[in-house]
Amino acid sequence: MMLLLTILSVLAGWAFLSLLVIGLLLILRPLQAVRGYLEKITMGVRAIEHQLVPLGSHISLVAGSLGETADALGTLDAGLAATGRGLEAAAPALRPH
């Protein structure tokens, strides 16, 4: 009886380990695909980083230009708002009677 239980325990252990290995092998292929995508993303980020290195010395100039652009857009917004108010005031006179 003890021998039978030992044999059944060993068979159950082998069945468990076999299912575990099969499950891990089924997961391996999708994980390898994800790894491939991550390697491509990493390579792209490194390429972008390498291309941006020359901009490092000019970043203060770019930041200043962006600040000037934001100021100009604020002025433009105020001008467009004034134009909109003028058009709203003139709209009744422009409508046909």
Does the pTM surpass 0.75? The reply is: no
- Could you please report the per-residue DSSP string of 27-61? HHHHHHHHHHHHHHHHHHHHHHHHHHGGGGGGHHH
d(CA 45, CA 51): 10
Look at residue 97 and tell me whether its pLDDT is greater than 70.
no
Look at residue 54 and tell me whether its pLDDT is greater than 90.
no
Classify 50 in phi/psi space as left (phi over 0), alpha (psi -120 to 50) or beta. alpha
